[in-house]
Amino acid sequence: MALKGMFSGRGGFLGSSRGLCWVQALLSLSFALAPAQASFAAAGALPTNSAAAHMSEAQDEAVKLLKQYLQINTTNPPGNETKGAEFLAKILNDNGIEAKLFETAAGRSCVYARLKSTGKKRPIILLNHIDVVPAEAKDWKHAPFGGDEIDGEIWGRGTLDMKGFGIAELEAMLLLKRYGVIDRDIIFLATPDEEIGGTYGAAWFVKNHPELVKDAEYLFNEGSFIDTEDGKPKYWGIAVSEKSVLWLSLTAKGDPGHASMPMPDSSVNRLVRSVNRIVENPPKPSVLAPVREYFKRISPTVGEPLRSAYSNIDESVNKPTFYAEILKDKFKSPMLRNTISPTVLKAGYKTNVIPAEATAELDCRLLPGTNKDEFIANLKDTMKDPTININVLDWVHTDASPYETECFSAISRVAAKELPGVPVVPMVMPWFTDSHWFRDLGIASYGCMPFKIDAAHLATMHGNDERIPTAVYRDGVKLLYQVLDELCSTNPGK
Ligand SMILES: [Zn+2]
């Protein structure tokens, strides 16, 4: 290559007193270099000022920050999220992104920061919650708040839910700040209190400061993973919705009496009969569009007869053998129907006394778009005892975000490059997140954690020994950056 030769002959040529002209020569060289850079890139050398060239450093930084963040105990209750919020805000401010704390209650704060862009496209929100669920250290192999890396895994309460993703969002934002030109503002929003419904977190923020977020087009949050088996990614699940939460209490009243003289229609007997009818007559399957798409898109990842069953899911759910099988899959089956779990039973205070009142509590999870009142009316029919009073304890409704969007296509483009053959699929999650507060503002909200997680690791979420393989975590940081680059940058991939 001509260029190269010239440099090696450096001394002679460059040493002359014709300083100025060599500067001009150099300048002309630099423009001449641009195609050279491309050819360097073609030849694999990355432009030094690119995120790609600094990805390994960034992954190191993310791992280091996650370990520090995991050591901050933000167990909810009580939360103490301000400590975590200050940690995140300091990183943002130190990197020239102005971060603001919003105190929502004593010791509890949100962090808000916005990375400005050309503004050609509407912003995206990177949402994460700072709080974690409790962890009993005595039941863990390694300290839940140690932030230790052991045998290639990062251990700690929150690695999966969801301090890991929070730091990955932060790192991707820093990379775009350092090396990118973006057309979409990127909003970083970390909130308290998700694990107990968001009252002192996302709900508070949306209620008190909608002006800071309502212009956003998209939102990324926790929700789903890259489903992985034996280290092999099967599909990248993107949660377009969670199920709505309906908590109910059933109260049966009756005559009290001495238990030596049983009463067939005692409060307890009638309640037990009704709860039994509910358990024996679960809601019928109902296939929503995103769920039909989910099964269609994952069908190539399984063999026959499942492949055909999944690609015709509407018919398959009416086939008793298939339906009995799919009901055993606690991850897939909740996407196909409303569910009811009797969880609390209360009655009586003495073994030999028939109580006047008996109550049961039900955790019902409804598919997006299900009408609450119709659901309760059906339940009443199933119970076949109109004297039993049904009371709504809690109702949190959510709709589904669309999956035919530029955002989904951007994720699919990255997956096609980085995970060839792994489909990107819309999902309806059985568990709940804060995304609904933003869907209510009309923001398309997706649960899209880019981590290759297998069933064994998934089971540690809200359980003991929560951890994430370091390599999986590093990979996720890179994938998230690539998705944001694809979605936000003026020239993605540059
Ligand atoms: Zn969570």
Those residues whose C-beta lies under 8 Å from the C-beta of residue 87, and which sit 6 or more positions away, are: 68, 69, 72
Q: Give the distance (Å) from ligand 1 centre to CA of residue 195.
A: 6
Q: What is the dihedral of CA 126, 130, 135, 140, to 10 degrees?
A: 60
Those residues whose C-beta lies under 8 Å from the C-beta of residue 90, and which sit 6 or more positions away, are: none
Q: Is the pLDDT reported for residue 8 higher than 50?
A: no
pLDDT of residue 44: 57
Q: Give the distance (Å) from ligand 1 centre to CA of residue 162.
A: 5
Q: Give the distance (Å) from ligand 1 centre to CA of residue 194.
A: 7
Give one word for 55, left, alpha or beta, with left for phi > 0 and alpha for psi -120 to 50: alpha
Between 464 and 49, residue with greater pLDDT: 464
Q: Is the pLDDT reported for residue 32 higher than 80?
A: no
Written as one string, the DSSP assignment of 402-446 is: PSSSHHHHHHHHHHHHHSTT--EEEEEESS--THHHHHTTT-EEE
Q: Give the distance (Å) from ligand 1 centre to CA of residue 242.
A: 12
Instruction: Quickly state the pLDDT bin for 29 (edges 50, 70, 90).
Output: very low
Q: What are the pLDDT digits (tens) for 284-309?
A: 999 999 999 999 999 999 999 999 99
Q: Give the distance (Å) from ligand 1 centre to CA of residue 451.
A: 14
Indicate the pTM of the whole model.
Answer: 0.87
Q: Using the 8-state DSSP alphabet, how is residue 238 labeled?
A: E
Q: Is the pLDDT reported for residue 24 higher than 70?
A: no
pLDDT of residue 211: 98
Give 267-320 as a 3 state SS string: HHHHHHHHHHHHHHCCCCCCCCHHHHHHHHHHHHHCCCCHHHHHHCHHHHCCCH
Q: Is the pLDDT reported for residue 411 higher than 80?
A: yes
- Section 385-414 average pLDDT: 96
Angle at 451 between CA 169 and CA 116, to 5 degrees: 15
Whether the CB-CB separation of 279 and 342 falls below 8 Å is answered with yes
Query: Chain-wide mean pLDDT for the chain?
Result: 92
Q: Give the distance (Å) from ligand 1 centre to CA of residue 180.
A: 29
Q: What are the pLDDT digits (tens) for 434-450?
A: 999 999 999 999 999 99
Q: Is the pLDDT reported for residue 100 higher than 60?
A: yes
Q: What are the pLDDT digits (tens) for 46-91?
A: 677 889 999 999 999 999 999 999 999 999 999 999 999 999 999 9
pLDDT of residue 19: 43
Q: Is the pLDDT reported for residue 6 higher than 60?
A: no
Q: Give the distance (Å) from ligand 1 centre to CA of residue 9.
A: 60
Q: Give the distance (Å) from ligand 1 centre to CA of residue 228.
A: 20
Q: Using the 8-state DSSP alphabet, how is residue 75 labeled?
A: B
Instruction: Quickly state the pLDDT bin for 173 (edges 50, 70, 90).
Output: very high
Q: Give the distance (Å) from ligand 1 centre to CA of residue 161.
A: 4
| Closest by CA position to 112, among listed 95, 134, 88, 96 | 88
Q: Can you list the domains of the chain with their CATH numbers?
A: 52-243+399-488 (3.40.630.10), 244-396 (3.30.70.360)
Q: Give the distance (Å) from ligand 1 centre to CA of residue 158.
A: 8
Q: What are the pLDDT digits (tens) for 221-243?
A: 999 999 999 999 999 999 999 99
Q: Give the distance (Å) from ligand 1 centre to CA of residue 176.
A: 25
Q: Give the distance (Å) from ligand 1 centre to CA of residue 148.
A: 21
Q: Is the pLDDT reported for residue 34 higher than 50?
A: no
pLDDT of residue 84: 98
* Interatomic CA distance for residues 488 and 119, integer angstroms: 10
Q: Is the pLDDT reported for residue 245 higher than 90?
A: yes
Backbone phi and psi for residue 160, each to the nearest 5 degrees, phi listed first: -95, -35
Q: What are the pLDDT digits (tens) for 465-481?
A: 999 999 999 999 999 99
Q: Is the pLDDT reported for residue 389 higher than 90?
A: yes
Instruction: Quickly state the pLDDT bin for 35 (edges 50, 70, 90).
Output: very low
Q: What are the pLDDT digits (tens) for 331-361?
A: 899 999 999 999 999 999 999 999 999 999 9
pLDDT of residue 36: 47
| Closest by CA position to 177, among listed 185, 167, 166, 189 | 185
Give percent above pLDDT 70 in the chain. Answer: 91
Q: Give the distance (Å) from ligand 1 centre to CA of residue 429.
A: 12
Give one word for 119, left, alpha or beta, with left for phi > 0 and alpha for psi -120 to 50: left
pLDDT of residue 45: 64
* Interatomic CA distance for residues 63 and 155, integer angstroms: 11
pLDDT of residue 47: 73
Q: Give the distance (Å) from ligand 1 centre to CA of residue 131.
A: 8
* Interatomic CA distance for residues 436 and 197, integer angstroms: 11
- Section 18-40 average pLDDT: 45
Give percent above pLDDT 90 in the chain. Answer: 88
Q: Name the pairing type of β-strands 444-447 and 218-221.
A: parallel
Q: Give the distance (Å) from ligand 1 centre to CA of residue 222.
A: 6
Q: Is the pLDDT reported for residue 3 higher than 50?
A: no
